[in-house]
Structure 1
Amino acid sequence: MNYTINQLRVFLKVIETESITKASEELFMTQPAVSIQLKNFQSQFKFPLTEVVGRQLYVTEFGYEVAEIARRIFDELEALKYKTKEYEGIFTGRLRISVASTGKYVIPFFLTDFLNAHKGIDLVLDVTNKSKVVESLKNNEIDFAVVSVLPEEVEVEEVLLMENKLYLVGNTDNYSKNKTLIYREEGSATRQVMEQYFDKKGSKRKQIELTSNEAVKQAVLAGIGHSILPLIGIKSELIEGSLKIIRKRGLPLKTDWRLIWLKDKKLSPVANAYLEHVRKEKAKIQKKYFKWYLDFE
């Protein structure tokens, strides 16, 4: 056999996406180029790795087995890269973190000093919705997750990072009980606490559902309605006056951003080092980067 690393990479991407079109998009290659690489790789085996029925590409059982071996090859190549750096005296490894959307305002500041101190560490930071964060955690695809509400379906350990303060906001400070309420999608931690608050109030107002905090913020800025948003994500708008906090009894709502990991998970040396950094430096990080937020009333 005489396959190349590039052929392996293309083959794995086709297996992951089950589509030459999608694989070409993610690899930034043309579809003909992906097809040629896949054909050249498959030609080295007596048994088919994929087959096309109609217009749908399917992976054979043999193809899945080859893909699993290919993944191990790339894992070993990754290990080789880090081993070389270790011999140069550099602390190396990969740190994988998945972040529920509002955590994107917090976690970079809990990473910056650590990464500056350890240039050999590669960071993979995925900002997504809570359900995907929990799925990545359950599948053991990441070292840590950042959430504001603990998942119920998986046992985890945690370190509290910082308080999450949520305020009712509008594009004016005139509160109207007839104004539309703008919610995040089902499963969002912000959605959960907002529902709890307005359910207690017995609110029957018209509702709109949007899929990101940024979309909710833009809708509030446009005057479509009111929403409860994390203070951490609206600093600029509060300073310029385009968003106003509406003071109501029972607000702000408060949760906590948490760094969580699977219970009994054997953390890598890099993950252990990062966890030690967070525990040791948490108070300093809060004071250094979040004084305005901690002092806000």
Structure 2
Amino acid sequence: MSIEEGVLYVVATPLGNLGDISARAREVLDGVALIAAEDTRVAQRLLSHLGVQARCVSLHEHNEAARIPSILQILSEGASVALVSDAGTPLISDPGFRLVRAAREAGVRVSPVPGPSALIAALSVSGLPTDRFVFEGFLPSRSARRRARLQVLADESGTLVFYESSHRIADSLEDMAAVFGDARLAVVARELTKRFEQVVSAPLGELRAWVRADEDHRRGEFVVMVAGLPPSARREPSGISEAHVIEVLARALPTRQAADLAALITGGARQGLYREAQRVKRDGGDPDVGGA
């Protein structure tokens, strides 16, 4: 194939097994003028394996905005650029969204070079329904915010899909079991396509115990999939109002945290909830007016 001029190629790369690189991805990486990589060290290992020599620059969450003008300049001059993440398909819980949006707004053609994705790979072997699923990416790092987000998803009927890191997998499964119940069926996919790949299906209570029982079960990169709530188990609406939620939270928590959690629980506008939390604080004589 020939590399078109002035195109931003979004290139999927292997999750772990380098044999999963496509012939088209190899040709694109070998033919572009520049590769924008989440981590240039990771990209260089792949390029060395492929025998590709190409100029790489880093593009990650901390420098993406600053990199965009120079990359757009290269594209405007007729050269082509490839965007890659550390593994899988770029932009799926990885950097690149701002660059792709800016390129499209500038009239640059953006072309996908499809391939591996941990999300799709995990779903394909999960044994859970895949006709409808909700991808949440990474949950909040703090338990209170994580549980609040999970509570919003508790009645979701589609399969729930999350990414998780090794240092939070045990705590996340703990919170999922607390919110969804120990009996809810789930699947943990660990180190997909790599030497120690594991896909384990069990109720959340058992998965929680499995992860905590062995340090090796907490190593690597994880996709967690949770079965949706069956229609027969759906709860009737509680009738609890947005005003009641913010009233309760504002009396127990700092204003900002109360507003954040109320927004996650109710789906309401955070700004309005923040003002309501301030009112509750004033009326209740709480010293934390406009808290932190």
User: Which has more radius of gyration?
Assistant: 1
TM-score range, shorter chain: under 0.3
User: Larger relative CO (CA 8 A, sep 6+): 1 or 2?
Assistant: 1
More strand by share: 1
> TM-score of the superposition, structure 1-length normalised?
0.26
> TM-score of the superposition, structure 2-length normalised?
0.27
